[in-house]
């Protein structure tokens, strides 16, 4: 079993994949993960257009061939016709994890009323967790970390607080987070001292 966390980062954007502008999703995710994770990890990056078949192919490749424990997508989760990331994610999933999508919308509603338009999902494929994140760097950070008050106290948990325990349950890898960024939660019986 791999002991080092392997993360697939997928930015879904027609314009960024065509070079119209520089992708901001993957750099934001990498920066956040470098601050949040205390364990070493490796990253596999993919910048692709909003094409369902291509998204499905890349997600399958990251899980089935690259053996990523965690795959984070950014972009393509709205109601527009070209937003097909959740459709592709659900198409290749073994099981849906609805709590992740629910919590992402809960967090985002504290910042924008249009969060209800988001179709973000979380799924399991084989032994990997796949999460659809928003496309904007600010929203990525908010979704992962949650809502904090002016003193930094968490008001609404970000989704990443549940990711380490979820990975432990589905593929046995044990990772932890920097509590200054996000506190990972797991039952006492599942903690390593």
pLDDT tens string 170-187: 999 999 999 999 999 998
pLDDT tens string 97-120: 999 999 999 999 999 999 999 999
| CATH code that applies to domain 5-190 | 3.40.980.10
Q: Model pTM greater than 0.85?
A: yes
Q: What is the rounded distance in angstroms from the CA atom of residue 177 to the CA atom of residue 181?
A: 8
């Amino acid at each position: 079993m791999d002991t080092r966390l392997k993360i697939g980062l997928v930015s879904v954007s027609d314009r960024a994949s065509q070079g119209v502008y520089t992708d901001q999703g993957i750099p934001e995710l990498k920066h956040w993960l470098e601050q949040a994770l205390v364990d070493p990890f490796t990253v596999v990056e993919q910048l692709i257009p909003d094409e369902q078949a291509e998204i499905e192919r890349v997600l399958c490749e990251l899980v089935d061939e690259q053996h990523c424990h965690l795959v984070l997508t950014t972009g393509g989760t709205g109601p527009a016709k070209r937003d097909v990331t959740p459709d592709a994610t659900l198409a290749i999933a073994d099981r849906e994890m609805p709590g992740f999508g629910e919590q992402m919308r809960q967090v985002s509603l504290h910042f924008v009323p249009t969060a209800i338009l988001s179709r973000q999902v979380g799924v399991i494929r084989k032994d990997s967790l796949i999460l659809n994140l928003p496309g904007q760097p600010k929203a990525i950070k908010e979704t992962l970390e949650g809502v904090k008050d002016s003193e930094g106290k968490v008001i609404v948990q970000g989704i990443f607080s549940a990711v380490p325990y979820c990975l432990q349950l589905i593929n046995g890898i044990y990772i932890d987070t920097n509590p200054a960024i996000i506190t990972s939660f797991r039952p006492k019986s599942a903690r390593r001292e």
